[in-house]
A and B are shown apart, each in its own frame.
Chain A
Amino acid sequence: MWLATGWLALSLPAHWRQVFVANEVAPGYLRPLGWLALGVSVLCCFKADHPSMAVLVWFTLLPVAAVATAMTLSYRPALLRVVCPVFLRAR
């Protein structure tokens, strides 16, 4: 179960990071959506583990997810389009 939360936290905050791709115009709702996803990932962690453990998992997952996203941005930015499908791109 905690593995599942791992994936979730990895994929969901990615929404938020999409904001920073040098698109022409980044839709404004992405930022709140990203924060929301981060919140959801916290809840997932809490659901999966003892609270004290959950805090740690979340805090250590965060840098890993962030670095993964940053590396994607540098080497394969196109991949990030997946997290923001076409039908959502309109403003």
Chain B
Amino acid sequence: MLNSFRQSMAWVHTWFGLVLGFVLMVAFFFGALSVFDREIDRWAIPETRFEPQPMPSYDNLLKQVFADLKPHPLDMAATAERVIGDLPAPETMPMVGLFAYTTHRDPVLRIGAEFAIPNKPIDSKDDHLHVHGWATIDPRTGAALPDDQLKIGSNWFYPMHYSLQVHWKNIGVFVVGLAALVMLVALVTGVIMHRKLFKEFFTFRPKKRTQRSTLDLHNMTGVVALPFHFFFAFTGLVIFASFYYFPVSGTLLKPLHDRHEVIEAEHTGLPHDEAGVPAELASVDAMVAEAKRIWAERDMAGEVGLLMIEHLGDANGYVSIYRAGSDRVALVGEGIHFKASTGEVLREEPPSDPVGAVNEFLTGLHLQHFEHWTLRWLYVAGGLLGCICIATGFVFFVEKRKQEHAKRGLQGCRLVDAMAVTTVTGMVLAAVAMLVANRLLPDAMPGRGDWEKWTFWAVWLLSLLHALWRSAPVAQARSNPAWREQCWALALACVAAVLLNWLTTGDHLLKTMLLEPYWAVAGVDLSLLACALVSVFTARRLARTVEVKQASRIDGVAYE
């Protein structure tokens, strides 16, 4: 496109990197937080601060819990819009399928069920018509935990990571997908642009001009973590590919896919449809014991992660038991299926074919269900390195152009810089402010979770306005004081969150670290403090020589 190949690639790197970098920053940062999503949940919902529990007994506990589970009003309303006629009363709907899900990091158990309805769909292609019910329970007692408590880690930060919380027509998922593709593009073009890849592998010169040292940091964080960045962007895309990005099986090749599904059902012996004859359920605990025995025989003893029952109460009903991911990367369930009425083994899932194995490894690599705390922290580190790489990219963009823009009276740098402030310090500030709000809002407040979300958005918007308001100096080739000011705000917010956690729950660091160790909460607190330290350091550094490097700010930003 331009004069030379290298120039064209540099153009792609600069402009795509700039525009989608803001999205990438969000994906990387919240991705790093999502590594510890369950731990953040514990911090935000103090009632659930107890040790992770294995899957409880179905016969003695879950059976009753599911008997009490009703269709969720939210899904009632959503389904009512898709069907002809009125839905029957929720109490009368028969439960036809259910699941219970836990991981080695979850004290709480997520359960859900499908309820059959007699209504016909408005759109005849709408073929999975059920009303769903769900709950989160305490697996020790079976008591339902309050449903309106927002799981900040797994239901807010984690979806933010892949969807930006923009759910309309899944726009968010597609934007993040494009950003991930641009990440791959930026890595390749970056390598093409970079002239001294190996010679400057470890080069970082903090004492040089800001422009030089940010470029050093940008190159270094990009190059040394190149495999990490590449694989995470790539596997992220692969995970969503068949469902969102290239849904061939649901559209163009649907006939082929459906035909295969029927053949497969015959092949596996798992009934695709109901028999229409009611049947009793045999002891599920016995099936669980049998599944564990089979796993142990394969030299991969483990706990149950997912328990599902299809066609509940029907003669064709079957129970599927999957192993919790823990000791390997690949996301393999080693599923074993039992006939629900007798408890005999219907099918053991065979080891996957080579393609499937590669896919499971790539998916598992990204979703990290394994039990390996060192590796988790390394993931966080990798994610934050990605953040540094992107942030320094912004800073370099501004540094490179601001002299010239100042001379010519352009405002471009000013805007980019303000956006950079918003997506770096502003974003972290919003996340921490959400935690502060979580501890400040009264427990009994209706719609408490929604208020937390509003706090998050409001703080983020305020940080943007603040950055824009303070951005005038950039247009004169100086730096924006908003960087420094937001660092101070961030430090205050972090310390406030830790103190509020102590005041409202009594769990101070001495207790969670030494007296009654509970590392989930201690980890969040410690990370908040580390974040506060880094912010203070950066703010002071920025104040001393307003022009010195800015990037180490995100260095420790709120792990977890």
Contact = CB atoms under 8 A, between A and B. Distances in A.
Contacts of A3: 374
B204 A73 contact: yes
B202 A60 contact: no
A67 B378 CA distance: 12
A70 B204 contact: yes
B481 to A, nearest CB: 26
A2 B371 CA distance: 12
A59 B379 CA distance: 10
Interface in A1-48: 2-3, 6, 17, 20
B206 A52 contact: no
Contacts of B381: 60, 63-64
B328 A63 contact: no
A60 B379 contact: yes
Interface string B220-237: 110011011001000000
Contact of B224 (A20, A56, A57, A67): A67
Contact of B378 (A17, A49, A64, A73): A64
Given A63-B224, A63-B228, A57 B375 contact: yes
Contacts of A57: 372, 374-375, 378
A74 B378 contact: no
B385 A2 contact: no
A71 B379 CA distance: 19
A63 B377 CA distance: 13
Interface string B342-383: 000000000000000000010001000010101100110110
B379 A49 contact: no
A50 interface: yes
Interface residues of A, number: 25
Interface in B306-362: 327-330, 361
Nearest to B226: A63
A52 B204 contact: no
B262 to A, nearest CB: 34
A61 interface: yes
A50 B379 CA distance: 18
Contact of B328 (A17, A20, A52, A64): A52
A31 to B, nearest CB: 12
Contacts of A20: 201-202
B505 interface: no
Nearest to A5: B374
A26 B88 CA distance: 81
A53 B385 CA distance: 21
Interface string B372-398: 101100110110010000000000000
Interface in B190-244: 201-206, 220-221, 224-225, 227-228, 231
B202 A73 contact: yes
A75 interface: yes
Interface of A: 2-3, 6, 17, 20, 49-50, 52-53, 56-57, 59-64, 66-67, 69-71, 73-75
14 contacts: A6-B374, A52-B330, A52-B361, A53-B329, A56-B375, A57-B375, A60-B381, A63-B221, A64-B382, A64-B385, A69-B202, A70-B224, A73-B204, A75-B206
Given A57-B378, A59-B228, A64-B382, 7 more contacts: A53-B327, A53-B329, A57-B375, A63-B224, A63-B228, A63-B382, A74-B205
Which 10 interchain pairs have the tightest Cβ spacing?
Answer: A63-B225, A60-B378, A66-B224, A70-B202, A52-B329, A63-B224, A74-B204, A64-B381, A50-B328, A70-B204
